[in-house]
Structure 1
Amino acid sequence: MIDLNGRVAVVTGGETGIGLAISRTLALAGAKTVIGGILDDKGQAAAEQIKKDGGDVVFIKTDVSAEEQVEALVQSAVDRFGKLDIMVNNAGVFDGFADCVETSPALWDRVIDINLRGVFLGTRAALKRMTPQRYGRIINTSSVGGMRGSADGCSYTASKFAIIGLTKQVACTHSQYGITVNAICPGVIQTDLRQTSAINLGDVAPDMSRGVGHDPDAYKAVVPAKRRGTTQEIADVTAFLASDAASYVTGTAIPIDGGWMAF
């Protein structure tokens, strides 16, 4: 098992789905963990359950598109635990497979604000704390939709491709300071992303019932494993990237997709 004792982590979007599995895995591996998320009730419930299971964790309500809130989230980890070692920029919303014509400027702006601006703000805040200590692990959640143009909708695809570019650029400029920067790219994973995205997008939310949600077996045509991945499988790879075992892994975008990118 990965040992993260003595480390301090921040996980955005850590109250549901993949983020919750990451928060739990890092905390139970020994990292003192701060969860930042927009869904207050789910965040408080997640923190309480992880505490019951033995993790040292706190939840702070955070809108990742707001610079001052992201800065406050990261600083709270430093104030509470003395430093920041691991930053997981996971918060994101789905666009319901809306194509370019269907994507309103309002939907585009909101998806980009959360998915891309949020990763930029989290990365920037983390670098300011990690660079002086010459140590850090930054993991950004992209998607297979950041590697294939046919996987998702217009704004989601654009945001996830951009996350990979941001990850690679920051790795080139900051790996010399002992900071690794990587992206994880989940494939078809069983989560509640559609439901939480509808809540977070509010009035600009598109129809979330298309694609795999409309035909639950459609993914089998392109995923060699013929099954959905689990949130724990994503969390396990994230924990590896957060550990010292991955100290020479940086600037990568890792598909966790049951072979979809090999198809």
Structure 2
Amino acid sequence: MFNLNGQVIIITGGETGIGLATVEHLASAGVNVVLGGILEDKGTEAANSINAKGVGNVDFVQTDVRNLAQVEELIAGTIRKYGKLDGLICNAAIFDGFASAVETSDELWEAIIDINLRGTFYACRAAIRHFLTVGKGNIVNVASVGGLVGGADGASYTASKHAVIGLSKQMACDYAKDGIRINTVCPGSIQTEMRANSTRILGEHAPKMRGVGVDPEWLQRTVPMQRKGKSADIADMILFLLSDKADYCVGQNFVVDGGWTAK
């Protein structure tokens, strides 16, 4: 459907869930995918599994998006290997377990902001520097309905995702004239392993991962479609935004939430 064959695209946080579905979609579309992720076992397994199917080319590069040097090397190393970079997807993020402001420790706040917002900024800035030299580029930042409304997770997560949307809009306005398109995708309640992964990444600072969408009554009350979405639903939207079918889409939020925020 979308002509992405031969492109080189980086995705952060592509080891599981939405990220992994996106990697699989990209590989099937003939993209050379560079998966930057912090979970080495899951990232290596994902790349090996997809490559073994012979449907695409995926490189895994262990990357902690909180580390500026690692993020910049992810971008630079990809360009060295392939001689170009066509697109970036910033998907690396963690939940805060619905911790309220009073329940949010300094350590939890810093971890959420560092991964969800700072990591997105680091990757976008490094990619934009390259895109400016070639006169084109495409970025999709994965935000959340938690970047549009309250109550989708806790204080730090909500703050980080609102900020990702604002940052993306500002960068889109700054660089659209330079041939760089930047948009955001806002998933609703999606069936993923994000809570378990968040607990693993946060370690000793992880709160209890309370959540929404588990109770069928919550889904019926909150989501008009009355079910959780699939990771592939988000991956489909990301591929559209990376394609030339979305050439006039700049600085916009594309919400995929089963109607949650329509109410």
Q: TM-score, normalised by structure 1?
A: 0.97
Q: Which residue of 2 aligns with 1:38?
A: 38
The alpha carbon displacement at 1:217 in A equals 4.0
- Local SS of the residue matching 1:241: helix
Structure 1 residues without counterparts, runs of 5 or longer: none
- Partner Cα distance (1:221, 1:76) in 2: 47
Q: Provide, for residues 214-244 of structure 1, a one-character-per-residue CA deviation record: whole Å limited to 9, x for no partner.
A: x354132111111111000100000010111
Q: Provide, for residues 91-131 of structure 1, a one-character-per-residue CA deviation record: whole Å limited to 9, x for no partner.
A: 00000111100000110000000000010001001101111
- Partner Cα distance (2:77, 2:221) in 1: 45
Could you list the structure 1 runs, at least 4 aligned residues long, displaced by more than 4 angstroms after superposition: none
Q: Which residue of 2 aligns with 1:71?
A: 72
The alpha carbon displacement at 1:141 in A equals 0.7
Q: Which residue of 2 aligns with 1:183?
A: 184
CA contact (8 A) 1:183 1:253 kept: yes
Within a 5 Å distance, the mapping from 1:50-61 to structure 2 comes to: 50-53=50-53, 54-61=55-62
Q: Which residue of 2 aligns with 1:28?
A: 28
Q: Which residue of 1 aligns with 2:104?
A: 103
CA contact (8 A) 1:97 1:211 kept: no
CA contact (8 A) 2:37 2:62 kept: yes
Percent identity of the aligned residues? 50
Q: For 2:226, give the aligned amino acid.
A: K
- Partner Cα distance (2:177, 2:127) in 1: 15
Of 22-31 and 185-194, more deviation after overlay is shown by: 22-31
Of 216-225 and 3-12, more deviation after overlay is shown by: 216-225
Q: For 2:123, give the aligned amino acid.
A: G
Q: How many residues align?
A: 262
CA contact (8 A) 2:147 2:163 kept: yes
Structure 2 residues without counterparts, runs of 5 or longer: none
Q: Provide, for residues 21-79 of structure 1, a one-character-per-residue CA deviation record: whole Å limited to 9, x for no partner.
A: 11111121111110000000100010011112311110000000111000011112111
Q: Which residue of 2 aligns with 1:239?
A: 239
- Local SS of the residue matching 1:34: strand
CA contact (8 A) 2:9 2:31 kept: yes
Q: TM-score, normalised by structure 2?
A: 0.97
- Partner Cα distance (2:244, 2:130) in 1: 18
Q: Which residue of 2 aligns with 1:156?
A: 157
- Partner Cα distance (1:210, 1:86) in 2: 32
- Partner Cα distance (2:145, 2:211) in 1: 17
CA contact (8 A) 2:98 2:210 kept: no
